[in-house]
C-alpha cells in the first residue's frame, strides 16, 4: 500500500479525485495527510475523509529556506512513500526536493515542456495554439522541468477562457495522476529510472 502526502494550495479537485479513488479497496495507495502553504479550501475534502491536514505558511517564516525546512519536517513526519503536489503553488526549496527526490511528483496543466510555471493555462491561451495538455512529472529543482511520467494533449476550443480551458484540463490531469500513482504502486514505473 503506497502512502501519500498530498500538498495543495487551492480547491483540491485533484486531491478529491485521489481521495475518491482510494475508497476502492483495490486502489493500492492511501492519502495519509494533506498539507498546504495556507488554510486551503481543499482541506475540506481531507476533513470529509477524516484525513489530517497541516499548513505551513511562508509568511510565518523569516525566509523561504526556513519555511522549506518546516514544510520538510512536517512532510517527513508522515513517513509517506510518495509526495504528490497537486495545485501546490509554491516553488519548493532545493533542500526539500533533494531530501525527497525522486519521490515527489507534480501535476501541471500544460503539455510540458510547453508553458511551465504558475500560469500554464493562461500562457497557452495567450500563445494562440490549437492545443495544450496536462502532464505528471517528477519534481526537480527547476520549474516544472523534471522527468515526464505521463502527459496528454487537450484541445483549446474557440472562445475558451482561462477558466473553461482549465476546467477541461483538470479531468485529464486527474486521470493521469491516478494512473501514475497506480503504475508507481504496482512498480510499473520506478521513479529512480526516469
Ligand atoms: C491544477 O490544474 C494544478 O495542476 C495546477 O493548479 C490546479 C489546481 O487545481 N497547479 P485543484 O486545486 O486541484 O482543483
Give the residue, by CA position, lying nearest to ligand 1 atom 6: 87
Ligand 1 binding pocket includes 106 (Cβ within 6 Å):
no
Phi, psi of 166 (to 5 degrees): -65, -40
Contacts of 158 (CB under 8 A, 6+ apart): none
Q: Distance (Å, rounded) from C-alpha 110 to C-alpha 121?
A: 7
Q: Sorting pLDDT into bands at 50, 70 and 90, what band is 138? A: very high
pLDDT in tens, 78-124: 999 999 999 999 999 999 999 999 999 999 999 999 999 999 999 99
To which residue does cell 512536517 refer? 74
173 pocket-lining for ligand 1 (C-beta < 6 Å): yes
Ligand 1 binding pocket mutation candidate from 40, 162, 173, 177 (most atoms within 8 A of CB)? 173
Residues 6 or more apart in contact with residue 138 via CB below 8 angstroms: 101, 102, 104, 105, 106, 146, 147, 149, 191, 194
> Which whole number is the average pLDDT over 10-18?
95
Q: Are 135 and 110 in contact (CB under 8 A)?
A: yes
The answer to whether 82 and 180 have CB atoms below 8 angstroms apart is: no
> Does the annotation mark 45 as catalytic?
no
Amino acid at each position: 500500500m503506497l502512502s501519500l502526502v498530498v500538498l495543495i494550495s487551492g480547491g483540491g479537485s485533484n486531491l478529491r479525485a485521489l481521495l475518491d479513488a482510494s475508497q476502492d479497496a483495490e486502489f493500492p495507495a492511501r492519502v495519509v495527510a494533506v498539507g498546504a502553504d495556507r488554510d486551503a479550501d481543499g482541506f475540506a475534502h481531507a476533513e470529509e475523509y477524516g484525513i489530517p491536514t497541516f499548513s505551513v505558511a511562508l509568511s510565518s517564516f523569516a525566509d523561504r529556506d526556513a519555511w522549506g525546512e518546516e514544510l520538510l519536517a512536517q512532510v517527513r513526519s508522515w513517513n509517506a512513500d510518495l509526495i504528490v503536489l497537486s495545485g501546490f503553488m509554491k516553488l519548493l526549496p532545493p533542500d526539500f526536493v533533494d531530501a525527497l527526490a525522486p519521490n515527489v511528483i507534480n501535476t501541471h496543466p500544460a503539455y510540458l515542456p510547453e508553458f511551465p510555471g504558475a500560469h500554464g493555462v493562461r500562457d497557452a491561451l495567450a500563445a494562440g495554439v490549437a492545443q495544450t495538455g496536462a502532464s505528471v512529472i517528477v519534481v526537480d529543482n527547476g520549474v516544472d522541468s523534471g522527468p515526464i511520467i505521463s502527459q496528454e494533449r487537450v484541445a483549446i476550443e474557440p472562445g475558451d477562457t482561462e477558466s473553461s480551458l482549465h476546467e477541461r484540463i483538470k479531468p485529464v490531469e486527474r486521470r493521469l495522476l491516478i494512473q501514475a500513482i497506480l503504475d508507481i504502486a504496482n512498480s510499473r514505473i520506478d521513479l529512480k529510472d526516469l
